[in-house]
Structure 1
Amino acid sequence: MPRRRRASRPVRRRRRPRVSRRRRRGGRRRR
């Protein structure tokens, strides 16, 4: 089994663009 390489530097999490699904679907505004 090939060895998995360990990331030497901490992996940055990818930021997802903010999508407001709730507003689209429910149409309810969040305060």
Structure 2
Amino acid sequence: MESSVEEFEDDSILYELLEYFVKKQDPELI
């Protein structure tokens, strides 16, 4: 259970970072 929760948190962080860089590079895209 613990490992699953950690993986979920890691994925969430990666997704937020990806969204941040995408907006930074091309704000009009979103």
Specify if TM > 0.5.
no
Per the normalisation by structure 2, the TM-score is: 0.30
* Larger-Rg structure: 1
